[in-house]
Amino acid sequence: VRHFDVASPGEIRLIRQMFPDAVLHYMHPVKGRQAIRNAYRQYGVRDFVLDSREELDKILEETDGATDLGLVVRLALPKGNAVYDLSGKFGADLTDAVELLRAARAVAPKLGLSFHVGSQMLDPSAYERAIALAGFVIAESGVVLDVLDVGGGFPVSYPGVTPPPLGDFMAAIARGIAAIDLPAHCRLWCEPGRALVAPGVSLVVQVVKRRGNELFINDGVYGALSDAGVPGFRFPARLIRPFEAMTDAGDEAFSFYGPTCDSADKMAGPFHLPADVKAGDWIELGQLGAYGSCLRTAFNGFDQARIVEVSNAPLLATPGYELRSCAA
């Protein structure tokens, strides 16, 4: 992977340190002036997303009217049925998107249109509908498009959730593209995140206390388990007893409390574990590569985590994905 969707100066610096020759695409539609200026002048970023005339003017001003820009208009979508809906914060409506495409085409050698159907989207047809909406905007604008970015949102498996095979999503995108009038040179982009990294990390926690079917563990919603809090994600779980034999106690459903003093540090689950789980036991929670460690905080001082590389298969497989290793 040598093309990266970046959202901030911090991400730009990080990728430049790791991959000096990578192509960076600044996909955040609302950026500070200095962030734009530094991205263009110091880090060689040329592609910028926007969803307003204000942002377009800001990009042009801070790059001194550069003639080597790639400008991508972010299109707003109606509220969808993704687990994480992303329709409310960014995106130009149909009329504004048409005008922005025309304005950006006049000043940029590379012009794109992007959208995002939401994270953990389980409905392949959502991409087809979004592409149809994009096709309408392109046709109304009368411009020639160089890039169509269908965003991310490709889902992975969680307990009780098995998404359609990845091929179903690719087929829906292919149908959508075939139904609209794009020039032969137009490139198709996407921004896979969760689909790439979710199975790549497990979190191993220790049970500090058991109270009925509630387990107090040493990580929580202020740590790597933010998605298990209010969003209610259920992660695959397995008991680890490295120094004693496992028993055949049958499974029960458990909820978790994290280590902080906040009562909101609770994860309802349910997480299914052997009925005899007890203080001192270890639990592996899978699918934590997406938004696990990156959302950790130091609240109450519980910010310590050790990272170890392993070569195990992930706890859950997702249809259509081939995964060779993961880290825990």
**Which residues make Cβ contacts (< 8 Å) with residue 193, sequence separation at least 6?**
119, 152, 290
Q: Are the beta carbons of 321 and 199 closer than 8 angstroms?
A: yes
Output phi, psi for 208, to 5 deg.
-95, -35
pLDDT exceeds cutoff 70 at 198: yes
**Which residues make Cβ contacts (< 8 Å) with residue 246, sequence separation at least 6?**
239, 274
Q: Are the beta carbons of 204 and 239 closer than 8 angstroms?
A: no
| Selection from 273, 270, 294 nearest residue 283 by Cα | 273
Check whether residue 135 and residue 267 sit in a common domain. no
- Residue 233 DSSP one-character state: P
Check whether residue 144 and residue 223 sit in a common domain. no
Check whether residue 159 and residue 212 sit in a common domain. no
Task: Quote the number of domains for the chain.
Answer: 2
Residue at which a domain ends, from 153, 177, 192 = 192
The pLDDT tens digits for 81-114 are 888 787 888 999 999 999 999 999 999 999 999 9
Do the bridges between strand 203-211 and strand 214-217 make them parallel or antiparallel, or are there none, so unpaired? antiparallel
For residue 84, CA distances in Å to 19, 29, 119, 152, 157 come to 30, 18, 5, 12, 15
Do the bridges between strand 203-211 and strand 282-285 make them parallel or antiparallel, or are there none, so unpaired? antiparallel
Check whether residue 85 and residue 171 sit in a common domain. yes
Residue at which a domain ends, from 192, 226, 242 = 192
The pLDDT tens digits for 259-310 are 999 999 999 999 999 999 999 999 999 999 998 988 899 999 888 788 888 8
Check whether residue 154 and residue 280 sit in a common domain. no
Q: Are the beta carbons of 282 and 206 closer than 8 angstroms?
A: yes
How many CA atoms lie less than 13 Å away from 279 in the CB half-sphere? 6
Q: Is residue 170 part of a domain?
A: yes
Both tokens of 155, joined, read 């889902």
The pLDDT tens digits for 6-20 are 999 999 999 999 999
Check whether residue 245 and residue 219 sit in a common domain. yes
Check whether residue 164 and residue 55 sit in a common domain. yes
Is 275 in a helix, a strand, or coil?
coil
pLDDT band at 328 (very low <50, low <70, confident <90, very high): very low
pLDDT exceeds cutoff 50 at 325: no
Q: Is residue 267 part of a domain?
A: yes
Domain that holds residue 66: 3-192
pLDDT exceeds cutoff 90 at 315: no
Cis amide linkage into residue 270, ω under 30° from 0: yes
